[in-house]
């Protein structure tokens, strides 16, 4: 049994303090002290009562308390907050500060735990906003709860790094949502896209004729934007694959196999890609690839994968800006303009013609083996074919079909700087890099969504910074 003292003599010996507990009054408040006796591992079961920790504001009640102070650095921490009524998103909001961990609702209880061991400068601070009626606080404060939240949010950052729990939760949530919610929407969106194309083309998809001519003057950013708008863009990551493929064919990038048979990539334009022929988004992608290549400026797929994972925000921004770039280019050429309803496009007569050609061109590449009169045009045109095949996600299929039909032309597709690899190798390389980009973009989007949820008080990841204005706490140490 522990002997509870009225006050704590900080000058007493370790033996005199053993088995005792007491209070020390300091300039910052009251500290609770325990004597641990002999050195070694000890387990303390501590209980104490604190009054007036829930305060009333004009709109909500608030609990803002430092449960674990700085300087203690425990390995594991778990905190459960139990209220007179079960707590949920319906009647409260929750935030955690000072440590790397999770906070959430668990069967009516607010539960928090750490993911990483607390350091000397970590603490555990919890902020809970309660709807009126759960408590009857004795402490009345003027103003709104927002004043408490605004101060707590100063210096807060709810983004997640290497958060396994968050990643697993995101995967499970994504799978569940895909089957329970997104699948019906997917079919509805596809149906709406078909109706939009029928109205624009004046015919059903199956009646749009094959088109052998490269549409939109071979502009892949414009083509991608239109394909997305009309609902036949396959994957967002394909635009990166198409841009990289074109850069290799234009000898802006070179690609070769090293001594171990791995494909490496280098840069023929230095740090910057210039020229009016290249869209701004293509130039930005070139700079990102160049930066990722390190000091030797030789880019290896594994190197790029690691770099993309550490620079998710840049690829998130790049992917989001492609549509803006495409709409601007379409507008500059009087092909389409942004609709007054969101980001959808309004097409001019010329734009409608090019959009129909784009859909027919996609059909032509998809059905290439079914076409009886399969002419094999010049190399430069087939390079454009391969770029658009990458945009539609079928470059490997088209390349293999060309190899069977015209092996000589197939071998001539690669420029001198990349003559040691084949069009299929080019597809594999560009597709792998584009998957890294898409994974980075998706990971950043998921992290931002979880961060927004956490910052909104719905539970999730905690913030190491922020939490100011709390009650309780102090600092651990020896007295």
pLDDT one-digit tens code per residue, 243-295: 999 999 999 999 998 888 889 999 999 999 988 889 999 999 999 999 999 99
Other CB atoms within 10 A of residue 276 CB:
5
| Residue 473 confidence (pLDDT) | 64
**Res 150: pLDDT:** 92
pTM: 0.70
In whole angstroms, what is the distance from residue 60 CA to residue 83 CA? 15
Strand ranges (E), 132-283: 139-140, 253-257, 263-267
> CB atoms < 10 A from the CB of 434, how many?
24
The contacts found for 333-339 with CB under 8 angstroms, 24 or more apart, are: 333/222, 335/216, 335/222, 336/226
Note whether 194 and 359 are within 8 A (CB): no
Which residues, 6+ apart, have CB-to-CB distance to 274 below 8 Å? 283
Q: Which residues of the chain have pLDDT under 50?
A: 162-166, 168-170, 172-174, 177-178, 180-187
User: How far apart, in whole angstroms, are the C-alpha atoms of residue 462 and residue 125?
Assistant: 10
Q: How far apart are CA 2 and CA 24, in angstroms?
A: 17
The domain 52-158+462-479 is classified under which CATH number: 2.40.50, 1.20.120, 2.60.40, 3.40.50? 2.60.40
Tokens of 451: 């961060």
The dihedral through the CA atoms of 155, 161, 163, 169 has a sign that is: positive
For the chain, domain boundaries? 1-48, 52-158+462-479, 166-454
Predicted local distance difference test score (pLDDT) of residue 236: 58
Residue 475 confidence (pLDDT): 57
CA angle 291, 328, 280 (to 5 degrees): 15
pLDDT at 42: 76
Q: How far apart are the first and last CA of the chain?
A: 20
Give the sign of the dihedral formed by CA 342, CA 348, CA 351, CA 353.
positive
Which pLDDT does position 181 carry in this prediction?
45
Quote the distance between the C-alpha of residue 270 and its chain's center. 30
Q: What is the spatial distance between Cα 339 and Cα 228, in angstroms, rounded to a whole number?
A: 14
């Amino acid at each position: 049994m522990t002997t509870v003292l009225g006050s704590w003599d900080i000058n007493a010996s370790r033996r005199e303090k053993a088995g005792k507990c007491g209070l020390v009054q300091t300039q910052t408040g009251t500290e609770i002290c325990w004597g641990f006796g002999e050195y070694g591992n000890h387990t303390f079961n501590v209980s104490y009562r604190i009054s007036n920790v829930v305060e009333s504001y004009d709109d909500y009640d608030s609990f803002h308390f430092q449960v674990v102070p700085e300087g203690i650095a425990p390995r594991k921490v778990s905190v459960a907050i139990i209220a007179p009524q079960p707590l949920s998103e319906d009647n409260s909001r929750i935030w955690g500060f000072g440590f790397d961990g999770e906070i959430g609702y668990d069967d009516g209880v607010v539960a928090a735990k750490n993911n990483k061991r607390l350091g000397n400068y970590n603490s555990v601070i919890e902020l809970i906003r309660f709807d009126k009626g759960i408590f009857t606080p004795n402490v009345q404060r003027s103003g709104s709860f927002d004043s408490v939240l605004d101060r707590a949010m100063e210096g807060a950052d709810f983004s997640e790094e290497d958060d396994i729990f968050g990643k697993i939760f995101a995967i499970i949530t994504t799978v569940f949502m895909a089957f329970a919610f997104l699948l019906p929407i997917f079919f509805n969106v596809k149906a709406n896209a078909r109706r939009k194309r029928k109205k624009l083309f004046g015919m059903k998809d199956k009646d749009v004729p094959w088109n052998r001519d490269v549409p939109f003057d071979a502009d892949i950013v414009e083509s991608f934007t239109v394909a997305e708008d009309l609902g036949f863009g396959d994957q967002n990551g394909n635009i990166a694959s198409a841009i990289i493929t074109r850069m290799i064919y234009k000898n802006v990038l070179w690609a070769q196999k090293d001594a171990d048979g791995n494909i490496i990539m280098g840069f023929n334009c230095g740090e910057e890609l210039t020229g009016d022929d290249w869209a701004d988004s293509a130039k930005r992608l070139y700079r990102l690839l160049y930066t990722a290549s390190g000091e030797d400026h030789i880019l290896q797929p594994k190197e790029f994968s690691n770099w993309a994972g550490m620079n998710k925000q840049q690829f998130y921004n790049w992917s989001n800006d492609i549509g803006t770039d495409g709409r601007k280019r379409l507008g500059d050429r009087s092909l389409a303009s942004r609709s007054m309803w969101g980001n959808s496009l309004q097409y001019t007569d010329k734009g409608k013609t090019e959009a129909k050609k784009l859909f027919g061109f996609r059909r032509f590449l998809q059905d290439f083996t079914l076409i009886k009169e399969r002419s094999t045009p010049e190399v430069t045109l087939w390079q454009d074919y391969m770029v658009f095949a990458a945009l539609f996600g079928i470059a490997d299929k088209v390349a293999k079909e060309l190899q069977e039909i015209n092996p000589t032309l197939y071998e001539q597709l690669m420029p001198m700087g990349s003559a040691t690899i084949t069009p299929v190798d080019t597809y594999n390389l560009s597709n792998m890099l584009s998957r890294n980009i898409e994974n980075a973009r998706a990971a950043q989007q998921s992290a931002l969504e979880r961060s927004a949820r956490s910052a909104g008080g719905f539970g999730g990841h905690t913030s190491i910074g922020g939490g100011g204005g709390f009650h309780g706490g102090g600092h651990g140490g020896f007295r």
